[in-house]
Structure 1
């Protein structure tokens, strides 16, 4: 099984955009810059894991040293809006400009852009057509399968790397206020069930601002150890998408 240990590196992009006068809220988001990202990168390096950081273009512009750390450690940057926008509140032209701007910014620091994940948990009926037009290979936003699949957008092929709410640390910790032990138990149970079903793929959505807290980074390490003990392998979004294109299991 391939495990997509994916990260949404939002920093304070959404807070600066939607809540510029809420200083404490912004400080919470900046934990990822000051502490969380370093803890995450250290853990990934210790286990030789290369993965994907879905990063708003604004974050790339405003925190270049943090982004440089991600790239220098061999990880992939992927699209996550420009300022973590609520895409469903934008017109077609506004959304196109957001994605185009973000693509250009990420290409400047990385040279390529392959993947996308929706900011604020939503996309529009235009999103995939825009992404395909901009040359994006894969999306990781939908919940309609538990295996990667290939789909067609205006004659262009894209790959979906599905997600699910209970695999999102932000929902579990910051919204539902679950304990670290509870979350670890849930994720291990979910992984065991996926292995018993002989699924080829498992995805966690993690945020350095959230999973980077001391008690939470500990359970992430425990999850990694458990997965390795079950002979799972960790891979980036691009690697998984390429594999799906070579050996498609499903088309929707």
Structure 2
């Protein structure tokens, strides 16, 4: 049950989901930019095990938005995620930019992805669209395939077809600070266009987590395994995990559980519906 002062399960005041995106080389293969043997991406073989060890240390269960193409390439990794209590959610078939798909391509991505998920024992109930935006027709397909929540850019709440919306903010994504190709998006958010460092990301996260606790809101934090390439970046990751795990006012839960709570208690979240 929730408390009178908070929409979240008692005794929590705010909710945060720690999430990861991109399982291996799905996108690079799609673009013809992967010159190595399939199934050897260092993000999966090197960085992810270290991230999972930190999640285990701080007893945090995460949501990993994984491309369906990768389920058969890294089946042992997918099984390890499930055994550790992490949620495996959907990130397109091969990280195709969702808003650029036509109707037939979108339907085909759903079909192929659910076929792959069934083959590898994965139950996709959540979707984060590559690129951050869904199409109007996506709502119908989400309902048709039994997707309970979507995690795009946007506002938190209940969307169409009874699908919960657990949005992310670009500034809560490591790629926003670390990657050159985000220069335009950084400018749109009022930041310097140049690549920023881990310290800037760390400072923003500290302030935003405090603000989410103050307002009793929801936050999705996103770290990409392929970007954890230095000790300084891992230090930011560990500080965030430590911060959210030690704050007893924060419900740290996989997106699936947050969406389930929202859908069971819609009256608590009527102020900010998404459509």
TM-score of Structure 1 vs Structure 2, range by shorter chain:
0.7 to 0.9
Q: Which residue of 1 is the match for residue 31 of structure 2?
A: 18
Match of residue 141 from structure 1: 152
Report deviation, 1:111.
Answer: 4.7
Give structure 1 regions of 4+ aligned residues with deviation exceeding 6 angstroms. Answer: none
Is 2:60 the partner of 1:49? yes
Aligned length: 242
Match of 1:192 among 202, 210, 221: 210
| Aligned pairs for 1:1-252 within 5 A | 1-20=14-33, 23=35, 30-143=41-154, 145=155, 148-153=156-161, 157-175=162-180, 176-199=194-217, 201-211=218-228, 213-231=230-248, 232-248=250-266, 249-250=269-270, 251-252=273-274
Distance across 2 between alignment mates of 1:85 and 1:160 = 20
Deviation readout 1:90-136 (Å, 9 max, x if unpaired): 22122111012212322333352210000133322222221111110
Query: How far apart, CA to CA, are the structure 2 residues paired with 1:230 and 1:151?
Result: 30
Q: Distance in 1 between matches of 2:77 and 2:229?
A: 14
SS in structure 2 of the partner of residue 188 of structure 1? helix
- The gaps in structure 1 that reach 5 residues or longer are none
Tell me by how many angstroms 1:49 deviates.
1.0
The answer to which of 41-50 and 119-128 deviates more is 119-128
Deviation at 1:212, TM superposition (A): 5.9
Q: With structure 1 as the length reference, what TM-score do the two structures score?
A: 0.88
| 171-180 or 233-242: bigger deviation | 171-180
Q: Cα deviations across residues 31-75 of structure 1 (Å, max 9, x unaligned)?
A: 211211101111111111112110001111112122222122111
Q: Could you list the per-position Cα deviations for residues 151-181 of structure 1 after superposition, in whole angstroms to 9, with x for gaps in the alignment? A: 222xxx1100011110111121123532212
Unaligned runs of 5+ in 2: 1-13, 181-193
Aligned Cα root-mean-square deviation (Å): 2.2
Maintained 8 Å contact 2:65/2:127: yes
| Structure 1 or 2: more helix by fraction | 1
